[in-house]
Chains A and B, each alone.
Chain A
């Protein structure tokens, strides 16, 4: 049983490296990961792509006879039936029994652990001791050359990602 699970897990992981996706909007395709890289072509909204690689906010894709980099937020990841999420369910024990299977080694932070947790004042004091003040945070941002900007939150959109099963 465990060998079978492990095997299917590895198979699916191998597939995950070859994930497919769909362009969510028209996009330039760059030679390298970066907005300043040379443009090698254009992919239209709806174009099917193979996801080859990732680098920060960029994704290397192949499709429409092109190979190059697009912003990863512009690509919808294909959710195939029998994908890695189901494997996660099997490994976590949810798939079989709805219960988290206890495993050897360190105890995970599961629902039961949270439920039986006891208040710990000492740890709360330690958390308090690690706090920083606004001035420190501002200096920290400056050191990292982080410049704050104004930016509105997005309008909620109807996403087909939200139509999935409970």
Chain B
């Protein structure tokens, strides 16, 4: 066998592995009850190139299956993958809420859901079941969980002063979910761990838990720095798309940089420093900052004391 053939067969083998895993997941997750509003067919945001956004923020991207081999592969991977994503995300969100429950303040929770959904509706995944919440801990952080769960800590919320700042923070987390940053990490780990043995008819929390490790530890691991910078840039754009003054996220980063404390330890261990993030945003937008002009400041922020 020459090298070329070897490469080709290796690639084919890998694809078959991946494809069978995808189907296996689908079977596994079919029987899981209570996945909120799980759509049968989710827009394939994972395929979308961020830099070539069409600018059409109203409609989810529709990808036709018109016979192209790659299109069929993509469609299969994406829809099957989405079912896994919702089920695994739900498990992680439930674990995170086990570590820090929701703040008992319905007015606050509803407000965060309104701002969050409005921003998420401007993204490439407007129709997934977005859920937003403020969780009871003084730590300063926010979490993006695959499938549409965004949880912000009370400590971070109390640092915020305006709705556009909230929109910027939520925009960053929404961007992680749109780009499936965490989900891609989980999928890679499953491939490495040889996940074939989970395919089967039994579908329960214990099996899902096996996938994601202990509790919500994957949220403590952090992403590649470039994923964080990308989410910052996208978060700024998402907030502006929603009509907000685009400077909210930058203001929050500058405020966090001035308030180092034990409350920011996990944030610092999983993200670049706030200064590096501010500077990355500056590098990204300095030459074209006027495109961010014109957003609104909305004076109805729900304060949390």
Chain A positions within 8 Å of B, measured between CB atoms, are: 9, 13, 16, 24-25, 35, 54, 56-58, 71-77, 79, 83-85, 87-89, 91-94, 100-101, 103, 105-111, 113-121, 123-124, 126-128, 130-132, 134, 136-138, 140-141, 144-162, 164
Contact = CB atoms under 8 A, between A and B. Distances in A.
Nearest to A98: B269
Given A149-B240, A161-B272, A109 B117 contact: no
Contacts of B291: 151
Contacts, number: 296
Given A117-B98, A130-B133, A140 B118 contact: yes
B2 to A, nearest CB: 38
Interface of B: 36, 50-53, 55-57, 90-91, 93-102, 106, 109-110, 113-115, 117-118, 121-122, 126, 129-133, 135, 137-139, 141, 149, 153, 162-163, 205, 209, 214-217, 219-220, 225-226, 229-230, 233-234, 237, 240-247, 250-251, 254, 257-258, 260-266, 268-269, 272-273, 275-289, 291-294, 296-298, 300
A39 to B, nearest CB: 15
B150 to A, nearest CB: 10
A74 B277 CA distance: 13
B34 to A, nearest CB: 8
Contacts of A131: 36, 113, 117, 129-131
A158 B280 CA distance: 9
Given A73-B250, A164-B272, A123 B97 contact: yes
